[in-house]
Amino acid sequence: MRSLPLPFQPRFIIYTAVLVITAALLIEFLLGNTAFFVTMPLVLFAALSLLGTLDLIQTRHAVLRNYPLTAHLRFILEEIRPEIRQYFLESEKDGTPFSRDKRAIVYQRAKQALDKRPFGTQNDVYASGYEWLHHSIAPKQLVKEPFRIVIGGPDCSKPYSASVFNISAMSFGALSANAIRALNTGAKRGSFAHDTGEGGYSPYHRENGGDIIWEIGSGYFSCRNGDGTFCAEKFEQNARSEQVKMVELKLSQGAKPGHGGVLPAAKVNAEIAATRGVPIGVDCISPSRHSAFSTPIEMMQFIATMRRLSGGKPAGFKLCIGHPWEFLALCKAMVETEIYPDFIVVDGKEGGTGAAPLEFTDHLGMPLREGLNFVHNALVGINARDRIKLGASGKIVSAFDIARVMALGADWCNSARGFMFALGCIQSQSCHTDRCPTGVSTQDRSRQRALVVADKAERVFNFQRATVEALAELVAAAGLDHPIELAPAHFSRRVSAHEVKSFADLYPPLEPGELLKGSGDKRYEIPWAMASAKEFRAQPRSA
């Protein structure tokens, strides 16, 4: 059968019709009919004809060449697909990375709206992976005082009493100035800590006086020399600020471990340049590795330098666990140098970021619970757990999330995206485009004004307080006085339709000093043998 001529094929018919109507209107116009009902449609159809013709001759989009005009509908629908899913199709348990239910609990607590649920759980309690906390027959009285934890080992002269729930590292640059202001004001009101992220200690962190954990990454922002190396004088000047309570060395974060970062030149405005100590309008690069040290021993010496320059404040590091022997190399360096960090923050692979390659966000790094428990056991195994406090981050937004990781070894928790939701983030996931619809993650001033600092600071404060109150209720129901008493035996997980396991079985402990004595535990024995305090590289197994 002979096919129809091209203009009459279904995929071209709209374009052909538009051309025909345009021609008819043009003839009418040339015959002297200049009435509004002729000129207006003529302009419209002429524009559509032009668009269709451009579609036909352009070479970038095959679908437009084959479906002139009509293919634009596909692009429009694709653009609004996330919104359609979120507003019309998503169920309470749907939505990634955070389900609608998880986001809702943050919004409700931030707005002091009713955060209770009627009619029983929506979770399938017989599905694999379902987890629960055991309650006690003899619950304790509800503790009214917010839970705090003292961070600072024997070498620290200015320990910090931290809340168990704090704002995780997010840079000025990734977040807007108004977002930073609101977070820090909320932190000040609620006496919890606000981590700067690696993008420097900006004026917006300083304005409102909330407790600061100052993080430095491989770009040494706010403490760098012209060539990008670490500048001890600038570090000392900032770290001694009364507002800075702890100093943190960032090795990696879960969403993009082992990956540096680039803030594109266009985003490096005068403010960001001044905060970071970099030139205006030039790509701002965070290398993938540090230049201030290159071996585990040197890294411990650098931690000691940070603590000394800060005037004795708690100094620690943040990482997502990668090769187990590399963390154990750090443990060996601690033992050999007798320099111990005051804290370690373990970030889970499930952590967030402003932007990262898909392969990194999806498949690089250890998930939080395994990473945290590994670090906790390793520190027990070198007899250092009592002097090093452990922080944890990675999709922690509810009191249950906090309780679970505290049972696995955390002394306190940080949340990044939880606090972004409290600021009004709607999980549109366009943080990397500078077109954030809520003003949270954009440097565009006209968009930032949507975020009203006083209002959102109140929500940040409310969210943190209500979450810690919910934690107090869980802890009391479990018959405990403080979440630090939570242990693996308090939790269970369904591992199959017919089997439930205690966390105590799923996460077996190490004995104090076991690594130093020579552990036969297969999880540690081999990587311990491969670890060296002198280099991060794996050692041959026989060494």
Ligand X SMILES: Cc1cc2nc3c(=O)[nH]c(=O)nc-3n(C[C@H](O)[C@H](O)[C@H](O)COP(=O)(O)O)c2cc1C
Q: Are strands 315-319 and 343-347 parallel, antiparallel or unpaired?
A: parallel
Measured CA to CA, the distance from residue 436 to residue 183 in angstroms comes to: 17
Measured CA to CA, the distance from residue 395 to residue 400 in angstroms comes to: 11
When the beta carbons of 225 and 429 are compared against ligand X, the nearer one is 429
How many C-beta atoms surround the C-beta of residue 363 within 10 A? 8
Sign of CA dihedral 220, 225, 231, 234: negative
Stretch of 181-189, 349-357, 369-377, 450-458 contacting ligand X, by CB under 6 A: 349-357
- Which one of ligand X, ligand SF4, none interacts with residue 296, CB within 5 to 8 A by kind? none
Distance of closest approach, residue 437 Cβ to ligand SF4, in angstroms: 5
- Which one of ligand X, ligand SF4, none interacts with residue 58, CB within 5 to 8 A by kind? none
Establish if 398 lies at the interface with ligand X (CB under 6 A): no
- How far CA 193 is from CA of 64, 113, 321, 340, 434, in Å, comes to 52, 24, 23, 22, 27
Dig out the tokens for 95 from the structure.
Answer: 């939505």
Q: Looking at 239, 272, 420, 530, which residue binds ligand SF4 (CB under 6 A)?
A: 420
Stretch of 88-96, 169-177, 295-303, 444-452 contacting ligand X, by CB under 6 A: 169-177
Q: Looking at 49, 171, 361, 438, which residue binds ligand X (CB under 6 A)?
A: 171
Distance of closest approach, residue 424 Cβ to ligand SF4, in angstroms: 7
Measured CA to CA, the distance from residue 197 to residue 202 in angstroms comes to: 10
- Which one of ligand SF4, ligand X, none interacts with residue 425, CB within 5 to 8 A by kind? ligand SF4
Measured CA to CA, the distance from residue 352 to residue 253 in angstroms comes to: 8
Sign of CA dihedral 248, 251, 255, 259: positive
Distance of closest approach, residue 219 Cβ to ligand X, in angstroms: 10
Stretch of 7-15, 170-178, 221-229, 479-487 contacting ligand X, by CB under 6 A: 170-178
Distance of closest approach, residue 150 Cβ to ligand X, in angstroms: 22
- How far CA 465 is from CA of 255, 335, 336, 393, in Å, comes to 27, 39, 42, 18
Q: What's the distance, Cα to Cα, between the start and end of the chain in Å?
A: 77
- Which one of ligand SF4, ligand X, none interacts with residue 428, CB within 5 to 8 A by kind? ligand SF4
When the beta carbons of 69 and 223 are compared against ligand X, the nearer one is 223
Q: CA dihedral in degrees (75, 81, 82, 86; nearest 10)?
A: 160
Q: Are strands 284-286 and 148-151 parallel, antiparallel or unpaired?
A: unpaired
Return the HEC string of 430-461.
Answer: CHHHCCCCCCCCCCCHHHHCCCCHHHHHHHHH
- Which one of ligand SF4, ligand X, none interacts with residue 430, CB within 5 to 8 A by kind? ligand SF4
Stretch of 99-107, 230-238, 434-442, 455-463 contacting ligand SF4, by CB under 6 A: 434-442
Establish if 401 lies at the interface with ligand X (CB under 6 A): no
Question: Distance of alpha carbon 225 from its chain centroid, rounded?
Answer: 28
- How far CA 170 is from CA of 29, 194, 354, in Å, comes to 60, 9, 9
Stretch of 224-232, 347-355, 421-429, 466-474 contacting ligand X, by CB under 6 A: 347-355
Question: Distance of alpha carbon 540 from its chain centroid, rounded?
Answer: 36
Distance of closest approach, residue 199 Cβ to ligand X, in angstroms: 6
Q: Looking at 37, 83, 430, 485, which residue binds ligand SF4 (CB under 6 A)?
A: 430
Establish if 170 lies at the interface with ligand X (CB under 6 A): yes
Dig out the tokens for 175 from the structure.
Answer: 């977040």
Return the HEC string of 495-543.
Answer: EECCEEEEHHHHCCCCCCCHHHHCCCCHHHHHHHHHCCCCCCCCCCCCC
Q: Looking at 168, 238, 310, 443, which residue binds ligand X (CB under 6 A)?
A: 168
Distance of closest approach, residue 421 Cβ to ligand SF4, in angstroms: 8
Establish if 86 lies at the interface with ligand SF4 (CB under 6 A): no
Q: Looking at 212, 263, 410, 416, which residue binds ligand X (CB under 6 A)?
A: 416
When the beta carbons of 69 and 436 are compared against ligand SF4, the nearer one is 436
Q: Looking at 224, 290, 313, 395, which residue binds ligand X (CB under 6 A)?
A: 395
Establish if 425 lies at the interface with ligand SF4 (CB under 6 A): yes
How many C-beta atoms surround the C-beta of residue 195 within 10 A? 28
Distance of closest approach, residue 419 Cβ to ligand X, in angstroms: 8
Measured CA to CA, the distance from residue 256 to residue 410 in angstroms comes to: 22
Distance of closest approach, residue 283 Cβ to ligand SF4, in angstroms: 22
Can the peptide bond before residue 279 be classed as cis, meaning omega within 30 degrees of 0? Answer: no
Tell me if 26 sits within 8 A of 42, measured CB to CB. yes
Measured CA to CA, the distance from residue 56 to residue 64 in angstroms comes to: 7
When the beta carbons of 266 and 500 are compared against ligand SF4, the nearer one is 266
Q: Looking at 22, 253, 373, 427, which residue binds ligand SF4 (CB under 6 A)?
A: 427
Residues 436-475 that bind ligand SF4 (CB under 6 A): 436-438, 440-441
Stretch of 201-209, 361-369, 425-433, 515-523 contacting ligand SF4, by CB under 6 A: 425-433
When the beta carbons of 349 and 447 are compared against ligand SF4, the nearer one is 447
Q: Looking at 49, 393, 427, 442, which residue binds ligand X (CB under 6 A)?
A: 393
- Which residues have a Cβ under 8 Å from the Cβ of 89 and sit 6 or more positions away? none
Site string for ligand X, 180-219 (x = CB under 6 A): -----------------xxx---------------x----
Distance of closest approach, residue 105 Cβ to ligand X, in angstroms: 14
Which residue ranges make up the site for ligand X (CB under 6 A)?
Answer: 168-171, 174, 197-199, 215, 250, 253-254, 318, 347, 351-354, 393-396, 415-418, 431, 441
Which residue ranges make up the site for ligand SF4 (CB under 6 A)?
Answer: 420, 425-431, 436-438, 440-441
